[in-house]
A and B are shown apart, each in its own frame.
Chain A
Amino acid sequence: MLTEFSTLALEVLTSPWLLGLGVCATLLGIILGALPGISSTMTLAVLLPFSFSMSPHVAMIFLIGAFYGSVYGGSISAILLNIPGTPGSMVTQLDGYPMARRGDAGQALTYALMASTIGGLFGIVGLMLFAPILAEAAFAFQSPEYAVIMVFGLSMLAYASPGSTYLGIMSGILGLALGMVGLDVVTNLSRFDFGIHRLQGGINIIPFAVGIFGLAEVLRLLEKPLDSDRSASRIVSLWPSIGQIAARFGTAIRSSAIGLLVGIIPAAGSAVAVSISYAQEKKLFGKRETFGDGNPRGIVAAEAGNNACVGGALIPLITLGIPGDTMTAVLIGALLVHGLRPGPDLFVEHPDFIASIYVALALTVLVTFLLALPLMRVFARLLSVPPRILHVGVLILCVTGSYAVQNALFDVLLMIFFGGAGYLLAKVGVPTAPIMFGLVLGPVLEENLRRTMIVYGDWSVFLTRPICAAMLAVTVLIIAFPLITALRQRLTPT
Chain B
Amino acid sequence: MKLKRFAALALSVAMLGLAGVGTAAAFPDKPVTLVVPWPAGGGSDTLMRMIAEGATGSLGQPVVVVNKPGAGGSLGLREVAESPPDGYTMSMVATGFIAEQYGNPNSPTLDQYKVVAFIGVDPAIIAAGKDTGIKTLEQLVAEGKAEPGKLRNANDQAGGTAFVAASLMEIALGIDLTLVPYQGSAPVVQAIMSGETQTATPSVTDLIAQHKAGEVTILAVAGAERHFLAPDIPTFTEAGFPLVTGTVRAIVVPAETPDEVVAKLEAAIMAALGDEDFKKRATAAGFSIAPLGSADATAFLQKMDEDMYPVLLEAGLVKVRQK
**Which residues of A line the B interface, CB within 8 A?**
41-42, 44-46, 48-49, 52, 138-143, 182-183, 185-190, 197-198, 200-202, 266-267, 316, 320-324, 326-327, 329-330, 333, 336-339, 341-346, 406-408, 447, 451, 454-455
Structural contact, A333 and B43, CB atoms closer than 8 A: yes
CB<8 Å pairs between A and B, sample of 18: A41-B39, A41-B40, A41-B41, A45-B46, A48-B49, A139-B195, A141-B194, A143-B196, A186-B158, A188-B160, A198-B75, A322-B189, A327-B41, A330-B46, A333-B285, A337-B284, A338-B284, A407-B68
Task: Report if B257 contacts A (CB, 8 A).
Answer: no
A269 to B13, CA, bound (A): 61
Structural contact, A183 and B72, CB atoms closer than 8 A: yes
A163 to B194, CA, bound (A): 42
A406 to B40, CA, bound (A): 9
Structural contact, B196 and A329, CB atoms closer than 8 A: no
Task: Report if B143 contacts A (CB, 8 A).
Answer: no
Structural contact, B281 and A44, CB atoms closer than 8 A: no
| Known A190-B71, A201-B69; 11 more pairs at CB < 8 Å | A138-B190, A141-B194, A183-B104, A189-B319, A200-B70, A200-B74, A323-B186, A329-B41, A337-B281, A345-B212, A451-B182
Q: Contacting A326 at CB < 8 Å: which of B39, B78, B180?
A: B39
A341 to B41, CA, bound (A): 17
A106 to B26, CA, bound (A): 54
Count of chain B residues with a beta carbon within 8 Å of a chain A beta carbon: 57
Task: Report if B215 contacts A (CB, 8 A).
Answer: yes
Chain B contacts of A141 at CB under 8 A? 194
**A-contacting residues, B38-80, CB 8 Å:** 39-43, 45-46, 49-50, 53, 66-72, 74-75, 78
| Interface contact tally, CB-CB below 8 A | 167
Chain A contacts of B182 at CB under 8 A? 267, 451
The distance from the CB of A105 to the nearest CB of chain B, in whole angstroms, is: 31
Q: Contacting B45 at CB < 8 Å: which of A45, A140, A190, A343?
A: A45
Give me the 8 closest cross-chain CB pairs, A-B, nearest first: A343-B209, A201-B70, A45-B40, A344-B213, A200-B71, A336-B285, A197-B106, A139-B194
**Which residues of B line the A interface, CB within 8 A?**
39-43, 45-46, 49-50, 53, 66-72, 74-75, 78, 103-104, 106, 152, 157-160, 178, 180-184, 186-187, 189-191, 193-197, 205, 208-210, 212-213, 215, 281, 284-286, 317, 319
A407 to B89, CA, bound (A): 14
Structural contact, A142 and B196, CB atoms closer than 8 A: yes
Chain B contacts of A320 at CB under 8 A? 189-190, 193, 210, 215
A49 to B68, CA, bound (A): 19
Chain B contacts of A48 at CB under 8 A? 46, 49
A346 to B196, CA, bound (A): 24
Structural contact, A344 and B209, CB atoms closer than 8 A: yes
Chain B contacts of A183 at CB under 8 A? 71-72, 104, 157
With A48-B49, A185-B183, A337-B281 given, is the CB distance from A142 to B40 under 8 Å?
no
Chain B contacts of A342 at CB under 8 A? 209
Structural contact, A344 and B285, CB atoms closer than 8 A: no
With A182-B71, A454-B178 given, is the CB distance from A322 to B196 under 8 Å?
no
Chain B contacts of A45 at CB under 8 A? 40-41, 45-46, 49, 67
Chain A contacts of B152 at CB under 8 A? 455
The distance from the CB of B49 to the nearest CB of chain A, in whole angstroms, is: 5
A345 to B46, CA, bound (A): 24
Closest B residue to A330 using CB positions? B41
The distance from the CB of B188 to the nearest CB of chain A, in whole angstroms, is: 9
Structural contact, B186 and A322, CB atoms closer than 8 A: yes
Structural contact, A266 and B187, CB atoms closer than 8 A: yes
Q: Contacting A343 at CB < 8 Å: which of B40, B159, B195, B210?
A: B210
Closest A residue to B196 using CB positions? A142
Structural contact, A188 and B205, CB atoms closer than 8 A: no
Closest A residue to B178 using CB positions? A454
The distance from the CB of A423 to the nearest CB of chain B, in whole angstroms, is: 26
The distance from the CB of B158 to the nearest CB of chain A, in whole angstroms, is: 4
Closest A residue to B214 using CB positions? A344
Closest B residue to A188 using CB positions? B158
Q: Contacting A336 at CB < 8 Å: which of B40, B104, B286?
A: B286
Chain A contacts of B194 at CB under 8 A? 138-142
Structural contact, B104 and A185, CB atoms closer than 8 A: no
Structural contact, A333 and B46, CB atoms closer than 8 A: yes
With A188-B103, A198-B75, A201-B71 given, is the CB distance from A336 to B284 under 8 Å?
yes
The distance from the CB of A461 to the nearest CB of chain B, in whole angstroms, is: 12
A341 to B180, CA, bound (A): 26
Structural contact, A339 and B284, CB atoms closer than 8 A: yes
Structural contact, A343 and B41, CB atoms closer than 8 A: no
A324 to B49, CA, bound (A): 23
With A187-B158, A200-B74, A344-B215 given, is the CB distance from A316 to B190 under 8 Å?
yes
Closest B residue to A190 using CB positions? B104
Structural contact, A455 and B197, CB atoms closer than 8 A: yes
A344 to B189, CA, bound (A): 12
Structural contact, A329 and B75, CB atoms closer than 8 A: no
Closest B residue to A46 using CB positions? B40
Structural contact, A49 and B49, CB atoms closer than 8 A: yes
Closest B residue to A336 using CB positions? B285
Chain A contacts of B40 at CB under 8 A? 41-42, 44-46, 330
A455 to B182, CA, bound (A): 12
Structural contact, B157 and A188, CB atoms closer than 8 A: yes
Could you say which of B74, B209, B281 has the most chain A C-beta atoms within 10 Å of its C-beta?
B209
Closest B residue to A331 using CB positions? B41
Closest A residue to B49 using CB positions? A49
Chain A contacts of B284 at CB under 8 A? 336-339
A336 to B208, CA, bound (A): 12
With A52-B281, A185-B181, A333-B46 given, is the CB distance from A406 to B69 under 8 Å?
yes
Closest A residue to B47 using CB positions? A333
Chain B contacts of A44 at CB under 8 A? 40-41
Chain A contacts of B50 at CB under 8 A? 49, 52
Closest B residue to A409 using CB positions? B79
The distance from the CB of A51 to the nearest CB of chain B, in whole angstroms, is: 11
A324 to B42, CA, bound (A): 13
A316 to B194, CA, bound (A): 12
Chain B contacts of A326 at CB under 8 A? 39, 41
The distance from the CB of B5 to the nearest CB of chain A, in whole angstroms, is: 46
Chain B contacts of A41 at CB under 8 A? 39-41
A327 to B317, CA, bound (A): 32
